[in-house]
Structure 1
Amino acid sequence: MREIPPFKLIPEPLTAEATALPPFKWAGGDIGRRHRLGGRPDFIQSPNVPECTCGKKMTFYAQLDSINDEFVLADCGMIYVFVCFDCFETKSVLQSC
């Protein structure tokens, strides 16, 4: 399993509608700012690295955080995206607080 070097992802609104979205009202800390490409996943729950259909453990590709109160993922959760660089199969995992 390969590890991609970590990159911080900073969301930038691309439309007036996205710019107008209010921030979280009830979630504190880093919620909404934990987006990342590569590195190691910040699992909220137990580690859950999927296996590809070829049987190999998949490589962590990115994590996407909740956006705000309107677009919250399962109680301030995150989506973790994995890829197999042999088969180019992808899988995602959703975890919540």
Structure 2
Amino acid sequence: MRDIPPFKLVPEPLNEEAAALPPFQWAGDDIGRRHRLGGRPDFIQAPDVPKCSCGKEMTFYAQLDSINDEFILADCGMIYVFVCSDCWETKSVLQSF
């Protein structure tokens, strides 16, 4: 699979509970807004592209950011999702500051 072109993902609350969540109180301006589909991962730490069980390096599919102070991923971290186009295995990697 070739690299997926980049798309910015903008979270949209789907109910009143989600819409009422407070924003981050102390994190930087970009924290909570780094969601992406395709492109290249914005690794917080060293690059960590997994290999599939078939041995091939996996293709970056998406990154999901922390939501707010209550739903934070390991100190303002992100989840990176990868896929193998040969066997459709997926793996995810979590990184934080």
Cα distance in 2 between the residues matched to 1:2 and 1:86: 12
AA at the equivalent of 1:3: D
1:46-68 per-residue CA deviation (whole Å, 9 max, x = no partner) reads 00000000000000000000000
- The question of 1:26 aligning with 2:26 is answered yes
**Normalising by structure 1, what TM-score?**
0.98
Aligned-pair identity (%): 84
The aligned residue for residue 83 of structure 2 is 83
The aligned residue for residue 7 of structure 2 is 7
The aligned residue for residue 45 of structure 2 is 45
AA at the equivalent of 1:88: W
Gap runs ≥5 in structure 2: none
Cα distance in 1 between the residues matched to 2:2 and 2:48: 16
- Cα distance, 1:28 vs. partner? 1.2
- The question of 1:58 aligning with 2:19 is answered no
The aligned residue for residue 17 of structure 1 is 17
1:20-73 per-residue CA deviation (whole Å, 9 max, x = no partner) reads 000000101200000000000000000000000000000000000000000000
Structure 2 SS opposite 1:17: helix
Cα distance in 1 between the residues matched to 2:38 and 2:18: 25
Supply the RMSD in Å over aligned alpha carbons.
Answer: 0.7
**Normalising by structure 2, what TM-score?**
0.98
